[in-house]
Structure 1
Amino acid sequence: MSIPANAPRGIRNHNPGNIRHGDSWQGLAPEQPDSAFCTFVSPEYGIRAMGRILRNYQRKYGLNTVRGIISRWAPPTENDTEAYVLHVAEKLGVGADDTIDVDVHLEALMAAIIRHENGMNPYDAATLRRGVELARA
């Protein structure tokens, strides 16, 4: 897939969740041209990192509602978190404060985050699925 120069930053960086530097993620590109956000070797590895983070939110921090997850993912100091929460909840077909199992909803949750972060989701189901499989490995 050729990435246009005017594509959103997260798509250009193969980092559709806009994950900031800080961890030594599997699949990081050797060159990191973006000073704020990670660049991955492929979208699957950016999706993998998203999945690992989201699964940890539930396992380590007990976050199991869209509001809890998105409030940590996209804090109000940087985002319109409430709009983000409502968008993701709508895409998942759940209430913002309904309990969800992140593992069960992982693919749909990540697709909604990708769309919100980038204004688009250019990835086909197979690409998303490969990233989810890597996150669960």
Structure 2
Amino acid sequence: MPRGLRNRNPGNIRRSAVRYKGETKSDDAAFKAFASTAWGYRAMFVLLHTVVRRSGVDPDAEIDTRDGPTMTRIAAAMARVENGVEPNEAEIAEGWRLFSADF
């Protein structure tokens, strides 16, 4: 099983001081772990949103980080590249639901 799926971290987010909702203790020396894959997708959405916000790019520009269909396609593509398998669409949708509940 790919590392990102074992850790329920489909974006292979590396360990750092940043804490995400749903993050759990990781046995992996390099990567974070999450309580569910949906929480891992939520962290991807937060990370993408934060990167856009910090870049000074208007979130309503070409990539609107609050647009579910666009963001879930991006997260799915990232997970596919990182893990080499097709992601579970229901888990992505649940991750989006967890992320968008904050808005």
Q: TM-score scaled to structure 2, two decimals? A: 0.82
Q: Which residue of 2 aligns with 1:135?
A: 99
The one-letter code of the counterpart of 1:100 is: I
Q: Which residue of 1 aligns with 2:63?
A: 100
Q: Quote how far apart the aligned CAs of 1:63 are.
A: 5.2
Among 2, 13, 21, the alignment partner of 1:26 is: 21
Question: Is residue 10 of structure 2 the alignment partner of residue 13 of structure 1?
Answer: no
Q: Give runs of aligned pairs for residues 1-137 of structure 1, distance below 5 A.
A: 7-22=1-16, 23-29=18-24, 31-62=25-56, 99-104=62-67, 105-123=70-88, 125-136=89-100, 137=102
Q: Distance in 2 between matches of 1:63 and 1:120?
A: 31
Gaps of 5+ in 1: 1-6, 65-98
Q: TM-score scaled to structure 1, two decimals? A: 0.63
The secondary structure found in structure 1 opposite 2:86 is: coil
The one-letter code of the counterpart of 1:126 is: A
Contact 2:15 2:31 in 1 (8 A): yes
Q: CA RMSD in A?
A: 1.8
Runs (4+) of structure 1 exceeding 4 A deviation are: none
Q: Quote how far apart the aligned CAs of 1:120 are.
A: 1.0
- Kindly name which structure, 1 or 2, has the bigger radius of gyration based on alpha carbons: 1
Q: How many positions carry a matched residue from both structures?
A: 96
